[in-house]
Amino acid sequence: MILEERPEWAENWFKEGEQRGILLGEKRGIKLGEQRGILLGEQRTKRESALRMLHAGLSIDDISRFSGLTEEEVRKLAEETRC
């Protein structure tokens, strides 16, 4: 009934709802982006540390324990750097 008597109210409600939805989506997107960035940064740091340890001659087992990478990841990194 209100919508029929005051259609401009409905339009304002829809616009307000849309704006709230956009803001909520932006906040969620920023949060997810930050989380992903942190994970990528941590992974990069682990790889860089592992590379330094490889160049220093540490074993794959030791590098895995110290860097937090799996032995498979360290082996792959070692193979990539030999090329």
pLDDT tens track for 15-62 = 999 999 999 999 999 999 999 999 999 999 999 999 999 999 999 999
* Whole-Å CA distances, 22 to 9, 16, 27, 34, 43: 20, 10, 9, 18, 31
Its pTM stands at: 0.68
Instruction: Say if residues 24 and 33 touch (Cβ distance below 8 Å).
Output: no
Tell me if residue 22 falls in helix, strand or coil.
Answer: helix
**What is the rounded distance in angstroms from the CA atom of residue 61 to the CA atom of residue 40?**
23
How many whole angstroms from its chain centre is CA 19?
26
